[in-house]
Amino acid sequence: MNIFRLTADMSHLVAIFILLAKMWKTRSVSGISARSQILFAIVFTTRYLDLFTTFISTYNTVMKVFFIISSYGTLYLMLVKFRPTYEKESDSFRVEFLLIPCVLLSFLINHEFTPMEILWTFSIYLEAVAIMPQLFMLQATGSAETITAHYLFALGSYRALYLLNWIYRYARIEARTACVIEVTQGKRANTPQLYPSLTRVSARLPWVISMMHRGPAHSSRLVNPLLMWYYTEAFFDPIATVAGVVQTVLYADFFYLYVTRVVRTRKAMELPI
């Protein structure tokens, strides 16, 4: 795992912990958009459905479970426990303007026209714009608490760092050949049938890899390290990269205000009128 992805994941965790700590400590969800949090819950639910079918690594599984649980936990705090403090009037962004285009795009532009792949692609598109209701709410109220600004900065940094992660991966790719993975078990077998999680690898991996082994005991030793290497280092995804660029651009103005009005003055963020 490269340093950019690891730092991005840690930034994402910090953002979630800041948000949950803010809610619990102040007993309030003021300034937080429930609509953005609902979109994030949809993102993680649709992206991590493979949790029940594919094992990449313990780290990968733990992170998936945490993001799903924390997203619904956040919604519970916002819409149930601290609901009286929720500023519904200011949280009025029309999320259907985000959901419908993302659904259409996921069907039109994807890596493979299968249910799981379409859901994964949809989650990538939706995550790129899921912060818009929060930014809209920030603009509507004209200010944000310092801790809320810290949360948004950490969340924005997570996607910016992931963008650097994709650029780093792209720089390491030296070949553009199609991937051929052969798993031999006594005689040649159909790889996707033996290991469904390799379908995405064979469709996208830019190297030609030949794996030969005997018996199922050897297969997991070869397949699991390959999957781990593929998902962490060897794979460049143009869809995720473009979505990351869009999301980082959406945060650009906020980053500037955060540095000039929160970091330098150490006060709550006030937006210019």
DSSP secondary structure string for all residues of 62-125? HHHHHHHHHHHHHHHIIIIITGGG--TTT----THHHHHHHHHHHHHS-SS-SHHHHHHHHHHH
For residue 85, the model assigns a pLDDT of 95
CA dist., res. 163 & res. 157, Å (int):
10
3-state secondary structure 206-218: CCCCCEEECCHHH
CA dist., res. 93 & res. 98, Å (int):
10
What is the reported pTM?
Answer: 0.76
**Sign of the four-CA dihedral 258, 260, 263, 266:** negative
Contact of 191 with 182, CB cutoff 8 Å: yes
pLDDT digits (tens, 9 = 90+) for 184-227: 344 444 444 444 444 444 444 443 344 333 344 444 444 455 55
pLDDT reading at 268 higher than 70: no
pLDDT digits (tens, 9 = 90+) for 63-108: 999 999 999 999 999 999 999 999 999 999 999 999 999 999 999 9
pLDDT reading at 244 higher than 60: yes
Domain ranges of the chain: 3-181+247-258
